[in-house]
Amino acid sequence: MVESSLIASFLIAVVIIIAIIIFFTLVPIGLWISAIAASAHVSMGSMIGMRFRRISPSRVVLPYIKATKAGLKLSSNEMEAHVLAGGNIDRVIDALIAAESANIPLEFESARAIDLAGRDVLQAVKMSVNPKVIETPVVAAIAKDGIELRAKARVTVRANIARLVGGAGEETIIARVGEGIVTTVGSAATHKEVLENPDLISRTVLAKGLDAGTAFEILSIDIADVDVGRNIGAQLQMDQAEADKRIAQAKAEERRAMAVAREQEMKAAVQEMRAKVVEAESEVPRAMAAALREGKLGVMDYYQMQNVISDTKMRESIAETGAPTAPDESEK
């Protein structure tokens, strides 16, 4: 009996200890006491429900205490719903407190939507109070006289909380400012106009309303630096002249090749005509033999023709012998 009672007492003690551990695991007593001390009432059942919904009670209760002490009229259920949606409730509460301190109208629903859209709502509120300076990369533009200018601008922007959801970001601002710089420099008659009045770029770009559809409001555009780059116009003219030169050389080479081909054709034609002459001369003895056989040419006529031919050859030989010879290269 004694042993059985001891075993029963031991089991009861173990069960009690396990129950206490489970109780303190499910119920954050310290957090509940902190909420009561801050007059931010959150029931113990709500905290246990958060545990079952796999939400750490501190993620909801601590921001709720902060919001209550700041005088914000919010419920723990709204904050828990934002956490369940994947938002950062602590950052949202900080943004609401900062907005209220700066007299910036910002509702909890708007702050939730901004946070769930992936934007830093606290940073947006801070940027509304302290405008941010965005520095653009070096933008190269060419004036009408062909001179390249390299400009760098600093854009002062302020967050527009009403357009944070669905508004374009900093990349769009930088791209639009760069486009405005290129347009302004490109419309200038000479690069000297831009160098003499850099604020011409600022006024022209600012007048275009580049912040439309973005999450920012452009306050000012300041040209930080303008440098003279390459003479693009002269470079283009040099490239065009080089291209024209190559075209002319190609055409001249084509004409030379055609002339060489024509010369070869003429040489071939001369050789062909010579072959025809030789062929015709070879027919003369045959014709004479045929004339002798047919009685159309007498023997005396033949000898007389041979005498004429011999006389002609002699005259040609005498003429070649009496002609002056060209001086030798060695004698020169």
Q: What is the pLDDT of residues 189-211, one digit of tens each?
A: 787 777 777 777 888 877 777 77
Q: Is the pTM of this model over 0.85?
A: no
pLDDT attached to residue 89 = 86
The mean pLDDT value for 223-246 works out to: 80
Rg, C-alpha atoms of the chain = 53
Contact 151, 226 (CB under 8 A): yes
Q: How far apart are CA 49 and CA 40, in angstroms?
A: 17
The percentage of residues in the chain with a pLDDT greater than 90, rounded to a whole number, is 1
Asked whether residue 324 carries a pLDDT value surpassing 60, the answer given is: no
Domain covering 132-231 in this structure, CATH number: 3.30.479.30
Q: How far apart are CA 121 and CA 72, in angstroms?
A: 17
Report for 143-157, 183-197, 292-306: range of highest mean pLDDT: 143-157
The mean pLDDT value for 242-257 works out to: 88
Asked whether residue 147 carries a pLDDT value surpassing 50, the answer given is: yes
- Closest CA relative to residue 142, chosen from 174, 189, 204: 189
Domain map of the chain by residue range?
2-129, 132-231
| Helix ranges restricted to H, 188-231 | 191-196, 199-206
Contact 155, 133 (CB under 8 A): yes
Report for 7-21, 156-170, 267-281: range of highest mean pLDDT: 267-281
